Amino acid sequence: MKPIWKSFAHVKDITNPEQYDYMLVLCPDVLHVRHLKYLCSRVGRSIVYYWDGFDHFPAYKDSVKYFDVCYTFDPFDARKYGLKFITNFHFEQAVVQEFENDLFFLSTYDSRYPELERIVSSFERHNMKVSVHQYSADAAMMAAPKSASIHFFDQQIAFDRVNEMLRRSRFVLDLQKRIQRGLTFRVFEAMGYRKKLITTNADIVSYDFYHPNNIFIWREDTVSLPSSFFESPYVDLPDDIFYKYSQENWVKTVFGF
C-alpha cells in the first residue's frame, strides 16, 4: 500500500476537470500505474525525462509506453530503448573570485569512496584545501580513521547551503557511478559556474564542450592531478555551445517550442 499512497500524494491536488497542454514527469517510478494513466489522460502531450539510467532504476522500463515523448540523459539507454537523448543542463551563475575551498564535494557514502580518497589525497599533496562531505548512517564508518578533509554526516544539509559551498569552491568533482553512463548535473554545474572539472566519466571527451584545460579525466590508473591542470587558465566556451546546454534551451527542446 505504501507505493500507492506515495503516488496518491503527488496527484491528489489535480482534481479539476481542466485539460492541460503539456505534462513533464521526472520520476515516473514514484507514480502508481493508475495515477500515471490518469495524469496522461489529462494532457495533450505527455513527456518524461529519465535522469537516471535504466540499469539503476529498472522500473523505468515499465513506464515508457504511457508517454508521448520519452527523453533520457543516458545515450546508451536512448539507443537501447528507442528514446530521445538530451543531456542535463546548467543554470548560468555569476562567477565568483573569492573561494572557501579548492574542492568541495558532497555525496552518499558508497563504493566510490576509495577512489574519492585517492583524489582527495592528490589535492592535499598540492597543498589545497578540500572539504568533502559523505552521507552515511553507519556509525562505524563515521568513526573510522580518515583524512581531516573528509567529513561524515547523517542529517540533511539544506540545498542552498550546498549550492553556496559549491559556488565558493575553485574546482568541481564528478564521481561516476559504475552503472551510470550519462553526464551528471555536476558536469553542468561546473559549466554554469565556469569552473574546472575533475571527472571519472571518460565519455565526456565525446561532447562538444570538452576542453582539456577545463576538464581532467581521472582514470583507474591515475595517480595524481598534474600541476598544469591547476595552473592553466579556464577556457570560456563559445556562446552557442554554452547556450546549447542551458536550462532555457533544454526547456525549449523538451517541449518542442
How confident is the model over 165-222, as pLDDT tens digits? 888 999 999 999 877 889 999 999 999 999 999 999 999 999 999 999 999 999 999 9
pTM for the model stands at: 0.87
Distance CA 70, CA 52 (A): 13
Question: pLDDT tens digits for 106-154?
Answer: 998 888 999 999 999 999 999 999 999 888 877 777 677 678 888 888 8
- Arithmetic mean of pLDDT, 96-107: 90
CB 166 within 8 A of CB 172: yes
100: number of CA atoms within 13 Å, CB side? 12
Helix (H) or strand (E) holding 44: strand 43-50
Unique residue bearing C-alpha cell 552503472: 179
